[in-house]
Structures are given as structure tokens and as C-alpha cells.
Amino acid sequence: TKAIGVDVEGGGYYHVHGVSTDETSEAADDDHEDDLWFALAQAITKEDYESLTTLCMDYCALWNEFWDAQIADIHYLEAKKLA
């Protein structure tokens, strides 16, 4: 948001959903997650279970790799500061 140079004024996503520092709005990002789960739960059939399970596990593995890389970068930067 503004703290990192993202313009949040004038409409768009942040106008609708708010930002954490905006006292006039409750950031509604959590609602998106609920909406997506409800849509998925209503749309899937038994025939979809196996492919969705595989997709979810692949996504979780990718997410884990992403955070492992982030943590490795932080440790590298901290070690570099101490050197």
C-alpha cells in the first residue's frame, strides 16, 4: 500500500476492500477466501476430487518452496549484515 509506494487513492481494488490503516474501512480480503471456498464447494463433483487433490498438493509444494526461498534470503541478508 502507501507504505511501499502502491497508490491506493482514487478507486479500484483498495477503494472497495480498504487497507489495514484505513479507519473508515475494514479490509475485506478474508471474505474473498470464503467466497472462493464456497464457489469451489458448490462446483466440484466426485469426478474432480483426484485432479483437485493433485492440484492442491502441487500448489502447497510450490508455496512451501516459495517460503523456503524467502527464509533462505532473509538468513543470507542477516549473515551479510553481520559480516
- Together in a domain, 6 and 32: yes
**How buried is residue 17: exposed, middle or buried, by Cβ count under 10 Å (0-12/13-18/19+)?**
middle
pLDDT value, residue 38: 83
Range of the domain at 68: 46-83
- Together in a domain, 1 and 37: yes
With beta carbons less than 8 A apart as the criterion, state whether 51 and 44 touch: no
Compute how many other C-beta atoms are within 10 angstroms of the C-beta atom of residue 25.
14
- Together in a domain, 53 and 78: yes
Name the domain count of the chain. Answer: 2
- Together in a domain, 55 and 83: yes
pTM of the model as a whole: 0.47
pLDDT value, residue 10: 63
List average pLDDT for each run of 10 residues in the chain, which is 83 residues long.
62 62 59 74 92 94 92 77 67
Q: Which three cell numbers stand for residue 59?
A: 500448489
Q: Which three cell numbers stand for residue 1?
A: 500500500
pLDDT value, residue 45: 93
